[in-house]
Amino acid sequence: MSNLGPAKQFLGLEIARLPDGSIILSQRTYIDSILRRFHMEDANSAPTPLHHKTRLDIDMSRDREADSAMYQAIVGSLMYADTSTRPDIAYAVAALSRYNTKRYITHMAAANRVLRYLKGTKDVGLVFPGRSTSEAYTDILRGYTDSDFAGESGSKVARQLLLSSTRRAHRLAVEETIACRDIDYRSRVCSLLRGHTQGPMPHTAA
């Protein structure tokens, strides 16, 4: 057995070490391979994983069905990147995964857009700061809330808006309680990992 030094690659992950002790995990080579596999290497890059006006849950009865094997292969490939180094595509992958058994051209176009987004962000990865830079990352955990009903279809939103003001207020209070509990849990986990407690977690309404 011989010592080959610090690992530089592992199961599609690329490991880079900086002088300050920070570690960066990325998947540039893996992303290039799936772009070639699905013939997207020459496509234009996209600025976001999903377009803000894309609705995947509307009636697709007039749309053509997409190739099942191809769609599932794309979603599976995206899922590996999502769970490894690219949490920025997690929402898009989760949304696309709902339609593995009933997918249409609209869903395929959305999946291809995620590939185009990855093409333009190949070098993006996870950064684990070293001790000398850890203080610069005290604000690393942020919370966001969705203000468009999480992209729900118009009919579902309309039904929600028809609730009485009392019921609507109660529902919103319950949702805020659940969100606060989730924030508190994640803050505690970060405190355990850091070994000390940070200040309030920043929150942004999206």
Following CA atoms 52, 57, 59, 62 in sequence, which dihedral angle do they give, to the nearest 10 degrees? 70
Confidence category of residue 35, pLDDT binned at 50, 70, 90 = very high
**Domain boundary at 134, 150, 179, which?**
134
Calculate the average pLDDT of the chain.
Answer: 77
Instruction: Name the phi and psi angles at 102, rounded to 5.
Output: -145, 80
151, 102: one domain:
no
Average pLDDT over residues 61-80: 89
Poorest-confidence range of 56-65, 115-124, 152-161? 152-161
pTM of this structure: 0.68
128, 69: one domain:
yes
Exposure on the CB side of residue 192, measured as CA atoms within 13 A: 6
**Pairwise pLDDT comparison (129 vs 72), residue with the higher score:** 72
Query: In whole angstroms, what is the distance from residue 200 CA to residue 197 CA?
Result: 9
Confidence category of residue 128, pLDDT binned at 50, 70, 90 = confident
Inter-residue contact 97 to 79 (CB < 8 Å): yes
89, 172: one domain:
no
Poorest-confidence range of 91-95, 170-174, 179-183? 170-174
pLDDT at 116: 95
Domain that holds residue 126: 8-134
31, 106: one domain:
yes
How would you label 23-53 residue by residue, b for 16+ Cβ within 10 Å and e otherwise? Answer: ebbbbeebbeebbeebebeeeeebeebbeee
Average pLDDT over residues 9-18: 86
**Domain boundary at 90, 110, 134, which?**
134
Report the DSSP pairing between strands 203-205 and 143-145. Answer: parallel
State the Cα angle at 150 between 114 and 26, rounded to 5°.
Answer: 35
